[in-house]
Amino acid sequence: MKRRSLLALGAAMSVLSAFPLCAQQASTDNLEISGAFVRATPAMAVAGAGFLTITSKGEADTLLAFRTPACNRPELHTHLNEDGIMKMRQVDKIDVPAGGSAVLESGGLHLMFIDLVAPLVEGDSVDVTLVFEKAGDVAITMPVKKAGAMN
């Protein structure tokens, strides 16, 4: 009986390890990417947002863009306070300082998924390729968390 339980547990663990929800982290020789997620969207939404932290383990780098099959127009964005009104704006790049971090979070820098091909559904995941000036392409799987999630 114990043997069957262990076999079942092993099978369940191998199935769970096949799911990419744990893949919210990635690393290169110089960068650590952590805490990545996107927020679920309503069925009729045309855009969504993604968040993560990029930490340099040495020299500075720059996030230039990202690609994903989840939308037709991926853009790097930030929020700006203009005359007391918060406005979202596209940015050309996101700098990651040497030995420091770039935090993409609600109310600040973030990944903007514009012209979604389908709603972002809580519990699903989204494949994203981050494009860095020095590190090149870095693939990451971002879990979709509930609408309004902060981390």
Model confidence, pTM: 0.81
Examine the pLDDT at 22 and tell me if it is beyond 60.
no
Three-state SS for the chain is CHHHHHHHHHHHHHHHHCCHHHCCCEECCCEEEEEEEEECCCCCCCEEEEEEEEEECCCCEEEEEEECCCEEEEEEEEEEEECCEEEEEECCCEEECCCCEEEECCCCCEEEEEEECCCCCCCCEEEEEEEECCCEEEEEEEEEECCCCCC
Instruction: List pLDDT tens digits, range 76-131.
Output: 999 888 888 888 899 999 999 999 999 999 999 999 999 999 999 999 999 999 99
**Superfamily of 24-145 according to CATH:** PCu(A)C copper chaperone (2.60.40.1890)
pLDDT digits (tens, 9 = 90+) for 58-86: 999 999 999 999 999 999 999 888 888 88
Strand-pair category, 136-145 with 31-39: parallel
Tokens of 148: 């309004």
Output the furthest CA–CA distance in the chain (Å, rounded). 69
